[in-house]
Structure 1
Amino acid sequence: MNCKASFTSISYSRAIARHLGLQEKDIWQLLVGTKISADRFIYDDTPIDSDDQKVIFQNTLNICDNLNYGLTLGETLAPPAHGTMGFLANCSPTLYTALEDFSKFLPTRVSFGHLGLSYDDEKITCLLHTIYNDDRHINRMVLEAFSISLNILIENVIGKPFTDGEVHFTYEKPKYWHEYQQHFRCKVLFSQPVNKIIIPINLKEYPNVSSDFSTYQVYKNLCQKQLGELNTDKYSTSDRVRKQLLLAPPGKSMNEDNVASAMFISKRTLSRRLKKEGTSFRRISSDVMNSIAKSYLRETDIPIENIANLLSYHDSSSFRRAFKRENTISPQAYRNQHRKPFTPENTM
């Protein structure tokens, strides 16, 4: 999927709204000075242009009245917050492939930031860029969040604190500089020539402790497809629920309370709106899980027991019963009928 360079997924601004605890009636506070209405912000997945995104960042700082907000925001931007791109990076085989996947697919989600990768005999260098150099407070907030998010990815992959590298920032040491120690275990330097994270070269091929080859191939093959589904122009309540369910990482299901909160409404309001559209959360959740299950069965060799875990079933028997109830045949029978033959091309 090719994204225009001047637009960014609205999901990040929604994540900020949730983190600030804003309700549906309060969303306007985040949008003052933008061309975005509250209805569009909540219901429409059309990307945000860079000018409006900058205003939203400024409003964020005004609402929280705290210049160190980027540090707090960064902790909420763990890989799953980046959608399919983040899931793919999280289950990449090695640290460097995780960084490559993150860098490759980042432009499909944001236009205000860029990750450049290079390495030599001693180190991997991750260059961090933003387009907000003209506003030091916004630039610092974005760089803080960006670097912490990347640091979380690194620690998730290596399965231990990231202590041997360095984080460099071009801006001067802020008054709250000591708070960086709560987020980074490695050396942090300020007033540097470029913004970057330096990783020792011995970690380049470090195996991902959470890697699963079959799951990685699923995300590799379906990344573009799922990103397309998450960026449609549809904004009915049913569509929005489906998208929230698709954003849930494997093995972590979202219940009705979680989805309602992510949509800035109460569980009762969600139920009422879905009923008006002739459906229910349970029905939509079942449809989404069934669709994902079919994708796993058709396109991977993941054992059925593992698929049950990925879909958050208590055991494989529960998954088999649910699948047969929806499709009239067992998961194994479905796989036998629809399995795509494995070829090297399938993994590209």
Structure 2
Amino acid sequence: MELKSIMEHDISPEAASIPSNYSRLIARALGLLTQDLPTLLTNTQITVEEFLEESTLLTADQQIRLLENALRISQNPAFGLTVGKMLTPGAHGAMGFLVNSSPNLLTAMQAFQTFSPTRMSFVRLELIAGKDWLECHYHLDLDVSEEVQRCLAEASAITFFDCAQHIIGKPLETAITQFKHREPPYHQRYAECIPGQIAFGHSHTVVKIPIEVCRIGNISANQQNYLLAFKQCEAMLSQLHAGENSVELKLKKLMLSHPPGTLSEEAAAASMFISKRTLARRLKVEGASFRKVRDHILSQQATSYLR
């Protein structure tokens, strides 16, 4: 597969496309109770009820504002490391499943590049393959403070190296990570979760990996799982580009985030904080039904298994 340069995103920053599970994880990292959430949600225009709803999507501005609030609440300069250590593959939905099922690290990084908009719309990855090294350049499409930029870069780096270790079977000690932000006072803690050489104060954040490491086979690779997750990610990316924000779309996202055929109509309605009857009525207005959406998703997944 040919490597692309910068992946151009055509998702509007005003579009609500970022899954809210990251923000709920941030709330857990802060140890917040339900009654504490209004402080975290200050100036986001998100209610506590919406925040707790699994199907809620955030805009890029809301996500950044929430992260700014979290950093202020935590009073922990190394909050990005704390959050990064909590980000299991499951936190990244179908994309996390796709990456961990990839045949090798190169394919996994291409998956990160292509489908990162389904998880964090303002993050762009650029892959540059040379004779001896593969470089992954990390870009943010929003103007953010150095504190926010550092927090995002730290959490993203930990996510990448955790996935890399899963694929190659050991820590990626031969990598070189160059961060855009200045060396923080707690820089010694980076070695606890980011292997290899680490440097600070560069023009932008980039991870460099020996090309031969990128071709090491993933002993946990599963082609069927990979193809299924790939189709799920493709479907979500297509929906984002279409700019849809309907009840049907929310239902599809919920179904794609659960094992095939396991989400019941009652559970879906509960996740949206509405009754089963209300869900059916809203879907009917859009010319859909729970059964139609479920059958469509299952049909797509069955087709993926057969290919």
Fold conserved between structures, TM > 0.5: yes
Question: Match for 1:10 among 4, 7, 19?
Answer: 19
Mark the CA change 1:140 to 1:27 in structure 2 (over 3 Å): closer, same or farther.
Answer: same
> Following the alignment from structure 2 to structure 1, what is the Cα–Cα distance between the partners of residues 259 and 86?
14
Q: Classify the secondary structure of the residue corresponding to 1:196.
A: strand
How many residues get paired?
Answer: 280
Could you tell me how far apart the structure 1 residues matched to 2:303 and 2:149 are?
45
**Are 1:55 and 2:65 matched, yes or no?**
yes
Aligned to 1:21: 31
Does the 8 Å CA contact 1:167/1:196 hold for their aligned counterparts? yes
Q: Residues 111, 86 of structure 1: CA spacing in aligned structure 2 closer, same or farther, 3 A cutoff?
A: same
After superposition, the C-alpha distances for 1:224-271 in whole angstroms (9 at most, x for unaligned) are 336789996549xxx88x966753579xx99xxxx9xxxxxxxxx99x
Aligned with residue 171 of structure 1, among 178, 181, 205: 181
Matching of residues 164-313 of structure 1 within 5 Å? 164-225=174-235, 233-234=246-247, 246-247=256-257, 299-300=304-305
Cα distance change of structure 1 residues 274 and 25 upon mapping to structure 2, 3 Å threshold: farther
Q: Say which SS state the counterpart of residue 173 (structure 1) adopts.
A: coil
Is 1:42 the counterpart of 2:47? The answer is no
CA distance in 1, matches of 2:28, 2:238: 23
Equivalents in 1 of 2:257, 2:54: separation in Å?
16
- Secondary structure of the residue aligned to 1:300 is helix
What amino acid sits opposite 1:206 in the alignment? I
Separation in 1, partners of 2:125, 2:259: 23
Q: How many Å apart are 1:65 and its aligned residue?
A: 1.4
Corresponding residue for residue 333 of structure 1: none
CA shift at 1:116, angstroms? 1.1
Q: Unaligned regions of 5+ residues in structure 1, if any?
A: 260-268, 279-287, 302-341, 343-348
- Secondary structure of 1:126 counterpart: strand
Q: Deviation per CA, 1:291-323, whole angstroms, max 9, x where unpaired?
A: 98876655425xxxxxxxxxxxxxxxxxxxxxx
Instruction: Quote the Cα distance in structure 1 between the aligned partners of 2:207 and 2:200.
Output: 12
Q: Which residue of 1 aligns with 2:74?
A: 64
> How many angstroms apart in 2 are the aligned matches of 1:226 and 1:111?
12
- Looking at structure 2, the residues matched to 18 and 290 of structure 1 have their Cα atoms a distance apart, in angstroms, of 35
Question: Once the 2 structures are TM-superposed, how far is the Cα of residue 206 of structure 1 from its aligned partner?
Answer: 1.7
Cα 1:246–1:111 shift into 2, 3 Å: closer
Percent identity for Structure 1 against Structure 2: 30
How far off its partner does 1:18 sit? Answer: 3.1
State the shift of 1:290 in Å.
10
Give the 3 Å change call, closer, same or farther, for CA 29–172 of structure 1 in structure 2.
Answer: same
What secondary structure is seen at the aligned counterpart in 2 of 1:29? helix
- Find the aligned partners of 1:246 and 1:6 in 2 and give their Cα distance: 23
Q: Taking structure 1 as reference, are residues 78 and 232 closer, same or farther at Cα in structure 2, changes over 3 Å only?
A: farther
Task: Select between 106-115 and 143-152 the one with higher mean Cα deviation.
Answer: 106-115
Amino acid at match of 1:192: H
Q: Judging changes above 3 Å, is the alpha-carbon distance between structure 1 residues 18 and 276 closer, same or farther for their aligned structure 2 residues?
A: farther
For the 8 Å contact 1:157–1:207, the answer to whether it is kept is: yes
Normalised by the length of structure 2, the TM-score is 0.75
* 1:109 and 2:119 are equivalent in the alignment: yes
Alignment pair present for 1:162 and 2:172: yes
1-structure distance, mates of 2:96, 2:245: 19
Contact persistence 1:114–1:130 (CA under 8 A): yes
SS in 1 for 2:134: strand
Distance in 1 between residues matched to 2:302 and 2:258, nearest whole Å: 19
Q: Give the residue type in structure 2 aligned to 1:112.
A: F
Distance (Å, rounded) in 2 between the aligned partners of 1:181 and 1:197: 15
Alignment partners' CA distance in 2, 1:226 and 1:51: 21
TM-score, scaled relative to structure 1? 0.67
- The structure with higher relative contact order (CA 8 Å, sep 6+) is 2
Instruction: Judge which range, 206-215 or 131-140, deviates more.
Output: 131-140
Aligned counterpart, 1:142: 152
What is the Cα-based RMSD across aligned positions, in Å? 3.8
Whole-angstrom distance in 2 between the partners of 1:169 and 1:125: 13
Whether the 8 Å contact between 2:118 and 2:233 is mirrored in structure 1 is no
Q: Residue 187 of structure 2 aligns to which amino acid in structure 1?
A: W
Kept after mapping to 2: 8 A contact 1:71/1:148 = yes
The Cα offsets for residues 76-102 of structure 1, whole Å up to 9 and x where unpaired, read as 223331211221122111211110011
